[in-house]
Amino acid sequence: MKEIMDEKMIQRSLTRMAHEIVEKNKGVENVVLVGIKTRGEFLAKRLKGMIDEFESVDIKTGSMDIKYWRDDLKISDEVIPTLDVIVQDKIVILVDDVLYSGRTVRAAMDGIMYYGRAREIHLCTLIDRGHRELPIKADYVGKNIPTSNSEKIIVHLQEKDGEDFVVLKN
Residue 128 lies in a domain: yes
pLDDT of residue 93: 98
Is 155 inside a domain boundary? no
Bridge partners, residue 119, by sequence: none
Question: What is the domain range of residue 22?
Answer: 7-148
Report yes or no on 1 lying in a domain.
no
157 in a structural domain? no
Whole-angstrom CA distances from 90 to 33, 35, 96, 145 are 10, 15, 19, 30
Rounded to two decimals, the pTM is 0.95
101 falls within a domain: yes
Average pLDDT over residues 116-130: 97
The tally of domains found in the chain comes to: 1
- 170 located within any domain: no
Is 160 part of a structural domain of the chain?
no
Contact by Cβ (8 Å): 102, 110: no
Look at residue 71 in the predicted model and tell me its pLDDT. 80
Q: What is the mean pLDDT of residues 15-36?
A: 98
Mean pLDDT (whole number) for 72-96: 87
Would you say residue 156 lies in a domain?
no
- Considering only CA atoms, which of 150, 144, 170 is closest in space to residue 13? 144
Residue 83 is part of a domain; what is its CATH number?
A: 3.40.50.2020
- Tens of pLDDT, residue by residue over 27-66, are 999 999 999 999 999 999 999 999 999 999 999 999 999 9
At 43 the pLDDT is 98
